[in-house]
Amino acid sequence: GAVVSQHPSRVICKSGTSVKIECRSLDFQATTMFWYRQFPKQSLMLMATSNEGSKATYEQGVEKDKFLINHASLTLSTLTVASAHPEDSSFYICSARPTSGVQGEQFFGPGTRLTVL
């Protein structure tokens, strides 16, 4: 149990394209999901907290108009990279916290590798 999926797993696009990444909790409900970004040979960095039915909370330095987050249901959060540029190329990972899970538990998706040409 406790599986989180992401789609797509990999995307290559031209500069200026908007890219949507989906994060789904497959067998549990998640009121809260998190989005991270990881550049090569670096650690994960939290970008934003996605709460079902309300606005996302962004970390300092993350542009909310650039990285649009929608958490429309208890099993789905989407991250849209608006007008992507080469510097947005990264590995994007989501995690989900079960609504009724053990305190402190988070389950991570497999990640989405975005390459902007």
Which residues are at the interface with another protein (CB under 8 A)?
4, 6, 34, 36, 43-46, 48-49, 59, 91, 93-95, 97, 103-111, 113
Closer Cβ to another protein, 63 or 105, answer by number: 105
Task: Give the CA diameter of the chain.
Answer: 42
Closer Cβ to another protein, 18 or 55, answer by number: 55
| Residue at token pair 């599986």 | 3
Q: Give the separation between CA 13 and CA 108, rounded to whole angstroms.
A: 24
CB of 111 to another protein, least distance (A): 5
